[in-house]
Amino acid sequence: MMNSNQQFLQNLYDAFNQGELETIISLMHPNVKWANGVEGGFVHGRDAVREYWTNQYQVIQVQLETLKFETDECDRNVVTVHQIVRDLQGDLLADTTIEQIFTLENGLIVLYEIGETETIQEMIQKTRTASEQ
């Protein structure tokens, strides 16, 4: 049975997979700190996150399937996600399972972090290298 935070996050993933960017942005704190899963580091604030995702959508398509919801000792919401990345032609670039970590305050996302994992760029590079062997 999902708790309210988990249901909130499942709704977020559903919106993401349907490309509803403004829905996602509206669920973030104005000063959100959002992990840049492509290049590493963080982007800050709703406008920066919107720009980040708008740029991504011009290059790659990402589908996220939630596998497991947990809460860690810091009361962060840890979501295990199956992430499939394709280019705009539909060719598979990366297929992996990652942990996405959300800190929520007053029903908004204040911090999004990624568990110990490679950036999308690193995953794509690895996939390309493997297919060239």
**Structural domain boundaries enclosing 73:** 4-132
Question: By C-alpha distance, which of 95, 92, 98 is closest to 37?
Answer: 98
Domain tally, the chain = 1
CA–CA separation, 51 and 43 (whole Å): 10
CA–CA separation, 52 and 69 (whole Å): 25
CATH of the domain at 25: 3.10.450.50
- Burial of 58: CB neighbours in 10 Å, binned 0-12, 13-18, 19+: exposed
Do 120 and 37 form a contact (C-beta atoms < 8 A)? yes
CA–CA separation, 59 and 120 (whole Å): 12
77-117 tens-digit pLDDT: 999 999 999 999 999 999 999 999 999 999 999 999 998 76
* Model confidence, pTM: 0.84
